[in-house]
Amino acid sequence: MSPAIKVLFVCVANSARSLLAEALLRHTDSRLEAFSAGSEPSEVDLRTIQALEAVGVDATGLRSKSINEFQADRFDYVITLCDKSASECLTNAQCR
């Protein structure tokens, strides 16, 4: 069995879009490991949890995380979800 493909979703606050992407990918494909982070993490937007629960996706354990938490990890894909995080990732070694 081949190792899982690791995917990191990045946005600034890691409060909505990237968390949604993480949870949805985990829910839909067990061959992939999904993670999310932000350059300026904040609190999880309550609407994120509500949206996931509305479509039957488990939101247990979702929290806003700093990209610094993943500095020792390697990812097969890093997907930025906004222009600011994309430009920050161009100069951030953790996104490479």
- Residues marked active site are found at 11, 82
Q: How far, in Å, CA of 66 to CA of 63, rounded?
A: 10
**Beta strand extents in the chain (DSSP E only):** 5-11, 32-38, 77-80
**Burial of 28 (C-beta count, 10 Å sphere; 0-12/13-18/19+):** exposed
Phi, psi dihedrals of residue 36, rounded to the nearest 5°: -145, 155
What residues are paired with 34 via a beta bridge? 7
